[in-house]
Amino acid sequence: MKKLILILAFIPLLVSLTAQDFFREDFSKEKKYLLLDNPTVDIIEVVSFLVDRGILDIDLNKVEFVGVYHSSQEYDFKKSADYIAENGLKSFHLHEVVGALSEDMLYRQNKCSDDFRRLFENSVGIIFFGGQDIPPAVYGEENWYSKTTDPGRHYFEVSLLFHLLGGTRNTSFKSFLSENPGYMVTGFCLGMQSMNVAAGGTLYQDIPAQIYDKHTPETIVETGRSNLHRNYWQSIKEGPDYMGANIHPVQFTDNDFFTSVIKVPARLRPLVYSHHHQSLKNVAASFTVTALSDDGKVVEGIAHVKYPNVFSVQFHPEVSALYEDRAKVRFTPEDELTTLHSMLDKKSLKFHKKYWGHISAVIMNNVTTAGTAKKKQ
């Protein structure tokens, strides 16, 4: 009996370990896969929420998720494996990339390149999520205002994105998407910054200091709420209910991505959720700007000039609290407590759902296209 108990106790551990080598094992070739970068428990919860509510509208009978990460990352992804197993999330899997990565290896063939190709060839797209600051040395600058907590994550993401998109830091490298131009690459916040850096761009390391010449919380809030990208009031006056982020308007550029692709009115200035202090400085040559902050000083969206399904935004459309009432928060000490969901007007909420509708359509179209191509072979 004791032996049986030990065997049963060992099974969840065995599952969580083997699940992290998904594409190196005997996975189903009948289904298609969407990659999720940095698949922490929080990210898995968010994606599950979006799918359950039909916001990310995909058919789990045809496409499943594979969370991808690098072995050097600080996060313990066993927590993610255990969460998947404990909650019976049969559509979620994990794949760990193993291989040395350093700042001088990112923009060329390296020890992870074979695994990068394996990810690319067995998926229809990838989503990159938010996080901490990229090491400035990755885009050729000294560190003035950046705080990096997990360099391994950034080396992995930037190098993977370079392999996918190519860039000006090594023009002789043939990008993976040159073989499959319809592949989807999208991201939010850090995801957009990483895409820009990988393709050859740079970043403002601190928006208040470098764009507005504001260096203290007291002077930063003088910029006005519509042009703040996180909440600095929590550093000025104590209070337990401050939101760490900000909800503010964005505007679209003359580029037709949002008007023709997402199909929203050009005059719309939707409210979005932001939590960042860095932004795009020099935009990589392969990207065009699709959206800007209220005053036009911060890049809020980009799209690839060659690959139609490569696009990204600086804000966070994935936040669950935007779509239903949750905790009540405030931005300034004088604000009444209210939910993030109630801060969005109907047009802004519709904008978010249409944006996810486009992502969903691209994924399912790529699933269908990949299935058709396989039948022809």
The predicted pLDDT at position 1 comes to: 44
Tell me what pLDDT residue 372 has.
Answer: 55
Q: Check residue 20 and give its pLDDT.
A: 87
> Is residue 191 within 8 Å of residue 128, measured between CB atoms?
yes
Q: Specify the pTM.
A: 0.93
How many other CB atoms sit within 10 Å of the CB of residue 343?
A: 18
Question: pLDDT value at position 371?
Answer: 55
Partnered with residue 36 across adjacent β-strands are 67, 127
Contact 261, 310 (CB under 8 A): no
Q: What is the pLDDT of residue 12?
A: 38
- List the domains of the chain with CATH numbers: 28-175+182-202+276-325+345-376 (3.40.50)
Mean pLDDT by 10 residues, the chain (377 residues): 39 44 90 97 98 97 97 96 97 96 97 97 98 98 96 98 98 98 98 98 98 97 96 92 97 97 97 98 98 98 98 98 97 96 98 98 95 49
Nearest C-alpha neighbor of 128 from the set 101, 151, 157, 149: 157
